[in-house]
Structure 1
Amino acid sequence: MSMEKVKAMRKEILEGPIERTLFKLAWPIIVNNLVQVLYNITDTFWLGKLGRAALSAPGVSWPIIGTLMALGMGFTMAGFSIVGQYIGAGDYRKANRSAGALLSLILFFSTLSAVISIAILPLALRFMHVTETIYPYAFTYSLIVFAGVPASFTFMASTALMRASGDTKTPVKISMLTVFLNIILDPVFIFILGLGVSGAAIATVLSNAVGTVIGFKLLLSGKAGLKITWSDMKPDWKFYSKIIRVGLPSSIGQSANSFGFVVLTRIIMGFGDVTYAAYTITTRLVNFITSISRGFSMAMGTMVAQNVGAEKYQRAKTIAERTMVVNFIIASIAVLTIGIFRVPIFKIFLNDPKVIAESAIVLKYFLISVPFFNGIFVVVTRVFTSAGHTKKSMIMSMLRLWGFRIPLSYAFGYVPALVVVFTVLGHSINFKIPLAKLFGFTSKGVFFGMGMSNFLAAIIGLIWFLRGSWMKRIID
């Protein structure tokens, strides 16, 4: 995308029809998300051929990897909001300079993070109470992916910067190339070369490395909207300070959120491999079908950032509200679809009667909350982040996981006192089935707590959004 196209896209984002512009920005991201999740499902499919333990390895590993990625994502989103707001304000030189500063900061930070993460990996896996059958697979997978973190971080940052300029097509082309490369390499490394779980991790790292190289070249050439020079990437503590100041709350919030999933994995693992395998497959399916709503949220982020930069706050609010409606409808259809075709779909990945039976519990007690998560919570937190108010998104993310999900999941799944309370409550209101039988000491309680966390966080997020305290830009 040339600079002329960036300016034309800016005009459409600031003045054009909201729905048409949202769809125009969203559809390339949606395609990319669908392809990306298709890869994840393909990965799950191939590893499922190696057995339940191999299939669970990436699911166990990703909370740890996600904690690391979240640190980089916080700074990336800070760069996204700053660059987007500078473009909305029409200051393209500062937009390019901020983008260069972000890339150099991410490159240094990701290398340091990779070294630290590899050192603490065994401790993290033991903390999650990973079973002995899964541990060697999870350790090997994580070790290889951690080694490729610099490439993953830089790839993530370069595509986010392109989206900030309003160019959503170029990141999709790069991502699709890397995903298809990953899909091809997976069976080759896993089966033909006989590397198993290690092969899946190597394929991921190599694919990300290819995307990183392409993204860098496009940003340096100016063919992706922004045009970064090598001098833009020189250390500049003024820009670093701004990115760190804006990005640190988001990094803390997202890393705390990801670490929360490490704790959540420990809670779910308390009910064994069968429960965790059912949870892993369910989340893959949810991600696939809700990829459309995530695409709209990301497109909305670009529109909100530029409108806030141009100080068109009411328009930014309207964009967010309409995105909520679209995402809620899409996620509701997704839940219904998974519910109807649950058994045949699960058999494709793992024809294990115990896992299939357990999947009914995951769907019944957790899945119904997904529309509230995708339709409201995700949109609200992205609005806060895109506007540069990362402390708000940090608070919301930590509240959902540490304030609601982990305490409620543990309480309903494990705490005897709560079982007694619900039994008494059930009798006092003449409820025919004691609620303790629904939740106490079973995986039902864990997934019920997870579902409740989505409902509660969505309600609080919506109230905070409507107050409008995020309607203030952060650039000079």
Structure 2
Amino acid sequence: MLLRSTTDVVKMERGKIQAMREQILNGPIEKTLIKLAYPLIISNLVQVLYNITDTFWLGKLGREALAAPGTSWPIIGTLMALGMGFATAGFAFIGQYIGAGEYERANRSAGALYSLMLLFSTLTAAISLAILPYALHFMKVTPNVYPYAKAYATVVFAGVPFSFTFIAFSALMRAAGDTKTPVKISMLTVFMNIILDPLLIFGIGPFPKWGVAGAAIATVLSNATGALIGAWLLTRGKLGLHLTRETLKPDFHFYSRIFRVGLPAAVGQSANSFGFVFLTRIIYGYGDVAYAAYTITTRLVNFLTSIARGISMAMGTMVAQNIGAEKYGRAKKIAERAMITNFMIASLAVLIIGIFRVPIFRVFLDDPEVIAQSEYVLKYFLTSVPFFNGIFVVVTMTFSSAGHTKKRMILDMLRLWGFRIPLSYIFGYVPGINLLGVWIPLAELFGMTPKGVFFGMGMSNFLAATIALMWFMKGTWMKRIIEEDIRKGS
């Protein structure tokens, strides 16, 4: 049997992209959404399963080790978000090109995005390692947690190029309507991570005992495996989009367009992640116990809302391609269906956590103080999660998928810097204000405890979701960003 040529493989895979495009543009919304979402849902569940496993094993080392990844991730996320912003822009361009039937433009853009992410990630890794000690000190990380957080983040930063290139690969596949391939690779890497975690943390068998650093090393090795598999598939043309030496050459014209569209998304997401550096500082003001309770609770809600996140990502693919085909009414309807579905799923998730909170927490850390603090997180913060996942996340995903990244940037920054950080600090640390001779209690309402911090966080979700929904209904996002290219025919 003769082997098929690379050209034949590319043509066959492009035919699959065209068939998926037809379903996205004209097929039943719910059925298509489920088809695209279920691989992403599985991937999210498996990824969160790893996070929970990671939390479980690190919890065996103590409260300080358990807090290390959660402490480090605001710093890691700040710089990683820059890459995510450019990937978001590439996703919007490529998705809209495919929706418009411009497959060659989509292919050239894919190569340019991938090479940009590779170059940018190297610079990001170097900057991350340089600022790490200063960032940890700024966050007021306690002396007990500091060495663990520094060890974890140092290793993860070294693996940033692998993370960035896999982000690019996943964005390219989702834009083309292929949600299965990146999920298969993600599942492989997550299971690899789950296996390596206890081996490298505790030094089982021939493996060295690296403690918290072992968890980070397991993460980097797994990410590297996924990135290399993704690169191999793209360069072999096995996924419709085909990266060659020609398409991977620096394309400064496309880079400028990626920066123009991607910079607001990158700034917004980086500012969002950097905001969590401040938020971590605010929570740590009440000690390790409050932060450990926050870390475990957010890991649990992430597990239970994985379905909602998968639906949002699938919706983004459908919105991008429908915007590219100028089917704006259908794009709006898709977003509305996703909004209702996600709100219901997130509400159920919060209810489940509320019912089983104590026994679940004891699985990870049987610490009475932490379990007591978790009640505050649930009551004052997690009750707002349906508004965040169901409305805010869907609206921001819709804006970015349509290429209107400035709108997303404004919403992201407003939620965190306009609402969450100020409100968390005010209700957590400011006793009250004297307004025209009348004393208005603020933090005093919550006894000057972490309750006020978590109340402020919850309020930020309610307020941001309301503003996002109002902006979405105005419909100013229903305009494609590839119009200039299509009109010029270049």
What does residue 270 of structure 2 align with?
255
> Aligned partners of 1:144 and 1:337: how far apart in 2?
35
What does residue 284 of structure 1 align with?
299
Query: 1:385-436 CA deviation, whole Å, 9 max, x = no partner?
Result: 0000000000000000000000000000011234x67x9688xxxxxxx876
1:170 to 156, 160, 181: 181
What does residue 4 of structure 1 align with?
15
How many angstroms does 1:225 deviate by? 2.9
* Contact 1:412–1:440 (8 Å) recurs in 2: no
Query: 1:54-113 CA deviation, whole Å, 9 max, x = no partner?
Result: 000000000000001100000000000000000000011110110100011111111001
What does residue 356 of structure 2 align with?
341
> Aligned partners of 2:479 and 2:170: how far apart in 1?
25
Equivalences for 1:97-246 in 2 at 5 Å? 97-191=108-202, 192=204, 193-246=208-261
What does residue 431 of structure 1 align with?
none
* Contact 1:32–1:175 (8 Å) recurs in 2: yes
> Aligned partners of 1:248 and 1:379: how far apart in 2?
20
> Aligned partners of 1:391 and 1:436: how far apart in 2?
34
* Contact 1:414–1:440 (8 Å) recurs in 2: no
Counterpart of 2:480, as a letter, is R
Query: 1:118-137 CA deviation, whole Å, 9 max, x = no partner?
Result: 01100000000000000000
* Contact 2:39–2:183 (8 Å) recurs in 1: yes
Query: CA RMSD for the aligned pairs?
Result: 1.4
* Contact 1:413–1:440 (8 Å) recurs in 2: no
Matched, 1:41 2:52: yes
What does residue 280 of structure 2 align with?
265
What does residue 429 of structure 1 align with?
none
> Aligned partners of 2:33 and 2:111: how far apart in 1?
27
How many angstroms does 1:256 deviate by? 0.2
> Aligned partners of 1:341 and 1:199: how far apart in 2?
31
Counterpart of 1:53, as a letter, is E
How many angstroms does 1:4 deviate by? 1.0
* Contact 2:432–2:443 (8 Å) recurs in 1: no
Matched, 1:352 2:367: yes
How many angstroms does 1:440 deviate by? 4.5
> Aligned partners of 1:197 and 1:442: how far apart in 2?
30
What does residue 469 of structure 1 align with?
476
Counterpart of 1:453, as a letter, is S
What does residue 7 of structure 2 align with?
none
1:439 to 416, 422, 446: 446
Structure 1 unaligned spans of 5+: 427-433
SS at match of 2:432: helix
Matched, 1:84 2:101: no
Matched, 1:368 2:379: no
Matched, 1:293 2:304: no
How many angstroms does 1:220 deviate by? 1.4
How many angstroms does 1:438 deviate by? 3.6
How many angstroms does 1:342 deviate by? 0.1
Relative distance call for 1:435 and 1:101 in structure 2 (3 A) is closer
Counterpart of 1:457, as a letter, is A
> Aligned partners of 1:316 and 1:51: how far apart in 2?
48
* Contact 1:260–1:402 (8 Å) recurs in 2: yes
> Aligned partners of 1:108 and 1:263: how far apart in 2?
29
Matched, 1:56 2:71: no
Runs of 4+ in 1 over 4 A off after TM superposition: 423-426, 434-437
> Aligned partners of 2:91 and 2:108: how far apart in 1?
12
For normalisation by structure 1, the TM-score amounts to: 0.96
What does residue 24 of structure 1 align with?
35
* Contact 1:438–1:444 (8 Å) recurs in 2: no
How many angstroms does 1:219 deviate by? 1.1
* Contact 1:162–1:225 (8 Å) recurs in 2: no
Relative distance call for 1:436 and 1:206 in structure 2 (3 A) is closer
- How many percent of aligned residue pairs carry the same amino acid? 74
* Contact 1:56–1:276 (8 Å) recurs in 2: yes
> Aligned partners of 2:445 and 2:372: how far apart in 1?
16
Counterpart of 1:257, as a letter, is N
Counterpart of 1:111, as a letter, is T
SS at match of 1:61: helix
> Aligned partners of 1:161 and 1:348: how far apart in 2?
38
Query: 1:287-341 CA deviation, whole Å, 9 max, x = no partner?
Result: 1000100000000000000000000001000000000000000000000000000
Counterpart of 2:103, as a letter, is Y
Query: 1:28-76 CA deviation, whole Å, 9 max, x = no partner?
Result: 0000000000000000000000000000000000000000110000000
What does residue 341 of structure 2 align with?
326
> Aligned partners of 1:204 and 1:404: how far apart in 2?
33
What does residue 414 of structure 1 align with?
429
* Contact 1:190–1:196 (8 Å) recurs in 2: yes
Counterpart of 1:207, as a letter, is S
> Aligned partners of 1:30 and 1:94: how far apart in 2?
30
Query: 1:242-265 CA deviation, whole Å, 9 max, x = no partner?
Result: 111110000000000000000000
Counterpart of 2:234, as a letter, is L
> Aligned partners of 2:439 and 2:296: how far apart in 1?
34
Structure 2 unaligned spans of 5+: 1-11, 486-490
How many angstroms does 1:441 deviate by? 1.7
Query: 1:215-261 CA deviation, whole Å, 9 max, x = no partner?
Result: 01111122223122121010111111111111000000000000000
How many angstroms does 1:383 deviate by? 0.3
> Aligned partners of 2:271 and 2:309: how far apart in 1?
21
* Contact 2:278–2:421 (8 Å) recurs in 1: yes
* Contact 1:413–1:446 (8 Å) recurs in 2: yes
Counterpart of 1:466, as a letter, is M
Equivalences for 1:371-382 in 2 at 5 Å? 371-382=386-397
* Contact 2:431–2:444 (8 Å) recurs in 1: no
